[in-house]
Amino acid sequence: MRGFLASSIGVTAAAALSLPLALSSGAGAATTPSAARALTAEAVPGSTESLPLSVLPRDRSLRAPGEQGITQRDVHPFSLVGVVWRDPAAALEGRVQVRTRATGTGRWSGWQEVETHNGDHAPDPGTAEHDSGRLRGSTAPLWVGASDGVEVRVRPEAAAPAHRAAGSAANSAPQAPLPKGLRLELVDPGEEPPPGGETPTLGAPAEGPRSGVLTAESAAASAVNADLAPLGADVIPALSKKQTERDLIDARGGEADAKVRPYIGPRPRIVTRKGWGADEKLRERNFGYTSKVKAAFVHHSATGNNYTCAQAPSVIRGIYRYHVKSLRWRDIGYNFLVDKCGNIYEGRAGGVAKPVMGAHTLGFNSNSMGVAVLGTFGSSKPPAAAVKALARLTAWKLGLYGVNPSGKTYLTSAGGNLYRKGKSVRLNAISGHRDGFATECPGRRLYNKLGTARSTSASLQGR
């Protein structure tokens, strides 16, 4: 059954055979839109409003020459914001700041910084996802909460020496050109359906499948986890260390290997894509895999820390939509996400136990997984619950592939700003994003906690 479900034919067939029937009150009975939504258990779809930026008039001395943006305006409701541009290889050398108006209160926020990515999160060169010709450059997305008004400014910074005209004085500090085609992306993450047609307890989704009908796309995304949870489940339940070891021994050949206990941590509780309300029609239909998982790269989402754990599914749906609709990736880039309360979420579709190819660390997406802790941790301390969850997740997932979380590994670079294509690089099995690419991610404070995560993860494996 495991091999059958892993194939695309098996996934489609299993999905079709497993779809429950939606019951009506009788032949020809009318169904209201709200009742239909309850029957199908579909999320209220989100949306993205994309607005072009233009050069702002220098009517105030605070504005820099060439500054682009959008002045205060009313917009469709949104909760997450980012800036994109045409060329994914172009760097945005400048500051991006936004202020937003809260829905309901009409109050404007102060100016908030948006972190520039500049290519550090992206599919690997040479992959179909990277070479599609559709990708865009982008900032990190910023979670601002329910808003209906926005203002943005992008201020150029002094050009690096390579950008300066020959013979120009060093102290003249000409500005670097901003990337072409700057656009503001305003993302409404939509709403997930309540489990069983009732109001969900966010942060602790229901343990069983939701009632109603699964779409074919949702069934396919769920079927690849069929060995771990029922079709349509919101959550993959935690297992004890003993049961996790037993399952791994069975997968490796059964009783013949029972005398050798594998090094693996207990499987943690994982909220599925169904559980956080992923709109499976957004992503590309097929799943992409690498050969194994040899390392975990830790990220921060850089979306800010102003969210509650109840809002975490909405934040993830916002990141998902931003990655797919705005950056034009095939799916969300991370393999897993962790919130401030220590909840673990399935990221890119393809199966939580499988070596799914992500788009999290440019140059090192093969044979690795990417885990994003929701928040920004340059100066803010990461919550202890999130660091513990990171250790639990890596103890289990790296253990599936025989990897010691406190050990070293080798990965081959696909090309980036630190390592040339083809170079074999020695890395920690649990590395920070900055170990594979010159970036601030995962933030200084979270990066400093990776030693703790490694030792805890190894201990959970029994090392």
What pTM did the predictor assign?
Answer: 0.85
Same domain, 150 and 240: no
Asked whether residue 198 is assigned to any structural domain, the reply reads: no
35 within some domain: no
- For the segment 297-348, what is each residue's pLDDT rounded down to a tens digit? 999 999 999 999 999 999 999 999 999 999 999 999 999 999 999 999 999 9
Q: What string of DSSP letters covers 96-159?
A: EEEEEEETTT-PBP--EEE-B-TTSS-PPTTSTTGGGS---EEBPPEEEEEEEEEEEEEEE-BP
Specify whether 90 is located in the same domain as 183.
Answer: yes
Task: Flag whether 19 is in a domain.
Answer: no
Q: Give the integer Cα–Cα distance in Å for 164 and 176.
A: 8
Task: State residue 451's pLDDT score.
Answer: 97
Domain at 92, CATH number: 2.60.120
The candidate with the shortest Cα–Cα distance to 276, out of 222, 355, 212, 350, is 222
Q: What are phi and psi of 410, to 5 degrees?
A: -120, 135
Residue 160 confidence (pLDDT): 55
Q: Is residue 270 part of a domain?
A: yes
**pLDDT at residue 202 is higher than 50:** no
* pLDDT per position as a tens digit, 256-273: 555 668 999 999 999 999
- In the numeric block, the tokens 């040899």 are attached to 294
Per-residue pLDDT reduced to its tens digit, 95-105:
999 999 999 99
The enclosing domain of 270 has a CATH number of 3.40.80.10
Question: Is 292 within a domain?
Answer: yes
Mean pLDDT (whole number) for 180-203: 72
**Residue 383 vs residue 166, higher pLDDT:** 383
Q: How many Cβ atoms from other residues are within 10 Å of residue 45's Cβ? A: 13
Percent of the chain having pLDDT more than 70? 79
pLDDT tens per residue, range 340-378:
999 999 999 999 999 999 999 989 999 999 999 999 999
> How many structural domains does the chain have?
2
Whether residues 134 and 282 fall in one domain? no
Task: For residues 256 and 415, give the distance between their C-alpha atoms in angstroms, rounded to a whole number.
Answer: 42
pLDDT of residue 123: 86
Please, what is the average pLDDT of the chain?
84
In a domain, 10, yes or no: no
Tokens, residue 205:
């989704």
Q: What was the pLDDT predicted at 117? A: 72
Q: Give the residue, 201 or 447, on which the prediction is more confident.
A: 447
Rounded CA separation 199/106 (Å): 28
Amino acid 32: pLDDT: 35
Q: What share of the chain is helix, strand, coil (3-state, %, to 5)?
A: 25, 25, 50
More confident site: 98 or 197 = 98
Q: In what order do the strands lie in the sheet with 295-300?
A: 235-236, 270-271, 344-346, 336-338, 368-373, 295-300, 430-432
Q: What is the spatial distance between Cα 109 and Cα 336, in angstroms, rounded to a whole number?
A: 31
Same domain assignment for residues 147 and 225: no
* DSSP secondary structure letters along 249-285: HHHTTGGGGTTS----PPPPPEE-HHHHT--TTSS-S
Please give the DSSP secondary-structure letter assigned to residue 1.
-
Nearest residue to 355 (alpha-carbon basis) of 399, 290, 267, 298: 290
Residue 139 clears pLDDT 50, i.e. is over it: yes
Q: Is 457 in a helix, a strand, or coil?
A: helix
Give the residue-averaged pLDDT of 230-239.
97
327 and 380 belong to one structural domain: yes
Residue range 241-259: average pLDDT?
81
pLDDT in tens, 72-85: 999 999 999 999 99
Half-sphere exposure of 259 (CA within 13 A, CB side): 1
136 and 236 fall within a common domain? no
Same domain, 334 and 433: yes
Note the pLDDT of residue 119.
Answer: 63
Distance, in Å, from the CA atom of 132 to the CA atom of 329, rounded to the nearest integer, reads 9
Cβ pair 335, 263 in contact under 8 A:
no
CA distance 252 to 402: 12
Residues 305 and 386 in one domain: yes
Same domain, 133 and 279: no
Measured at the alpha carbon of residue 38, what is the angle toward residues 318 and 226, in degrees to the nearest 5?
70
Average pLDDT over residues 47-67: 84
Supply 392's token pair. 């639990």
Domain that holds residue 79: 47-164+172-188
Indicate whether 12 belongs to any domain: no
What pLDDT was estimated at residue 12?
Answer: 41
Cα 164 to the chain's mean position, in Å?
36
The reply to whether 209 falls in a domain is no
Note whether 258 and 126 are same-domain residues.
Answer: no
CA distances from 412 to 82, 334, 431, 439 (A): 31, 19, 15, 19
On whether both 242 and 181 belong to a single domain, the answer is: no
Tell me: do 389 and 430 sit in the same domain. yes
